[in-house]
Amino acid sequence: MKKVLVNEIKLPVNVSESRNTLTGKVANNLKISKDEIKDLFIKKKSIDARHKPEIFYVYSLVVSLGDNIADKVLRNKNTSLYKEVLYNFPCDNKKNLEERPVIIGFGPAGLFCGYLLALHGFKPVIIERGSKVESRTQAVKEFWEGGKLNLNTNVQFGEGGAGTFSDGKLNTGVKDKYGRIGYMLDTFVKYGADKAITYINKPHIGTDVLTGIISSMRRDMEEMGAIFYFDTLMEDLSYEKGQISSISILLPDGSHEEIKTNNVVLAIGHSARDTFKLLHKKGIEMQNKPFAVGYRVQHKQKLINDDQYGFGNAEKYNLPASDYKLTYTSKDGHGVYSFCMCPGGYVVNASSFNKKLTINGMSYLGRDSDNANSAIVITVNEDDYGHQLFDGMKLQEELETKSYNLADGKLVFQRYEDYKVGADSVDYGEVKPVCKGQSVAGSVRGVFSEAFENNFIEAMEYYGGRIKGFNDGDSLICAVESRTSSPVKIIRDDGFEANIKGIYPCGEGAGYAGGITSAAVDGMKVAEQIAKNINLNYT
């Protein structure tokens, strides 16, 4: 028996996707009898709306065939021998560890690093400044309803990290030679995600599903011997002869504790400004890195669906809320592009510092809100913000302060027509804000420089030629999208260690990932390295 990958199997979107239909379709394409197909599963599924009104689901299917018939069909185009890449963790812990590996931060990077270490007997200790996801969800809800911002438990900080209140997009440009992404997706499925995330070409989980998955994974990790400290800040670290020896933590009751350890993972995310400064003070090498800043724009989801699928087709065929990706180079040479597009989502107040406002996008599994939103951003680097370490972080702080001051921390939405002429919005047109957090109509002009504002207008007008209605006057603009990625990179060597041995910068905050999946993959790589190092040092 051989497994053959068959690409380009198309089904019109109005044909129901049953095993029988897919078997018939693939047998027909391969010119073999249905009975020859002993097994079949979906490897990839995407939508092709390039020839609308005809819209297709396009599949890559893996079929099991007898050897002779497989050899025959492998001569057809769009077929290849299927080789499954199975993820392999390098080694289990066999020793009674005197000092456990410690992971700072329980976002996707810390989650997968910790999960693998726990699963393979390394009993990690996990320190997270924010609360468990259950109480975190309540704290965030209260903040969005007008309550006080909790500086340690918010949209950026707490169990699950920055991605917990997110769209849960899981697509990434990262290559998957070793099966890490497949393993990550399978793990999410094991803990409650829909199996479809393993084959949809742009998988998404939704904040509602993600929160449950994270708490279930944590409970299993505890059973496997991991120890968690929530509402606990890593406030200091010590090392001897260039090797980490302990960390200090600030517990929720205000007391301090020292944990001795030889291995510390810094999975701290992009928003831990105090921790970045601490690490710099302690001599950990880091440098500025480019990141992107801009606005978030909102449109009716129907406008995007009609453009991408053809008028009314989304409703007619029950198609998923459509996304888009837009790029433009301004006359003065700046790349202006859409980022973190959230179909059927919400613009959320994602602040984590007093009197500083930052925003982002979130959606539920159903992606069924009235609006689509995305960030429209421009990349900034040292030439834009300065060459001193943390100048990028200062730029973030300036933009966030200005945005906060627009309306005392409320999200300000401005109609694009008003934005263009520099007038305050007093009301909304066809597009009403769909958001989490207090909001008002007003003006976001002045948060960025005039040159930036002109680039944005140029880009919006250009995008209007790509997606009909994108530059409509009623489209809404909100500021500021400032946490697209980390403003610094913590230097690490080929063995994933910083200039202090035993310290492993990891994930998005350290500058080695951008998004949930790549952060999780980086966490896995660091776990593999720690496991190898521990076993080496003990044998």
Residues in contact with ligand FAD by the rule CB under 6 A: 104-110, 127-130, 155-158, 161-163, 165-169, 233-234, 267-269, 272, 275, 340, 348, 350, 360-362, 507-509, 513, 515-517, 519
Place of tokens 């200090």: 248
Kindly state the greatest CA–CA separation across the chain: 72
Q: CB of 485: closest distance to ligand FAD in angstroms? A: 8
Cα–Cα dist 484/417, whole Å: 26
Distance CA(191)–CA(409), nearest Å, equals 37
CA-based nearest residue to 424, from 408, 405, 407, 443: 443
234/447 with CB nearer ligand FAD: 234
Cα–Cα dist 139/190, whole Å: 28
Taking the least distance from each CB to ligand FAD, the nearer of 360 and 396 is: 360
CB of 97 to ligand FAD, least distance (A): 21
Distance CA 369, CA 363 (A): 8
Identity of the residue, 106 or 456, whose beta carbon is nearer to ligand FAD in the bound complex: 106
Residue 266 CB, nearest approach to ligand FAD (Å): 8
- The smaller minimum CB distance to ligand FAD, of residues 272 and 406, is found at 272
394 in Cβ contact with 317 (< 8 Å): no
Residues ≥6 apart with Cβ < 8 Å to 525: 180, 496
Phi and psi (nearest 5°) for 483? -115, 50
CA-CA distance, 363 to 208, in Å (whole number)? Answer: 8
Nearer to ligand FAD by Cβ, of 305 and 363: the residue is 363
Is the CB of 42 or the CB of 104 nearer to ligand FAD? 104
Nearer of residues 30 and 264 to ligand FAD, judged by Cβ: 264
Nearest to ligand FAD of 108, 502 (CB atom): 108
Query: Nearest distance from residue 479's CB to ligand FAD, in Å?
Result: 15
**Residue 315 in 3-state DSSP?**
helix
User: Whole-number minimum distance, CB 53 to ligand FAD, in Å?
Assistant: 30
- CB count, 10 Å around CB of 338? 22
Crossing angle of helices 207-223 and 108-119, in 10° steps, is 30
Q: Minimum distance from CB of 465 to ligand FAD (Å)?
A: 27
Distance CA 99, CA 209 (A): 35
Positive or negative: CA dihedral 23, 28, 31, 34: positive
Q: What's the rounded Cα separation, in Å, for the pair 162 and 351?
A: 11
Q: Kindly state the smallest distance separating residue 358's Cβ from ligand FAD, in Å.
A: 8
Which token pair is 365? 């599994």
Nearest distance from residue 537's CB to ligand FAD, in Å?
Answer: 26
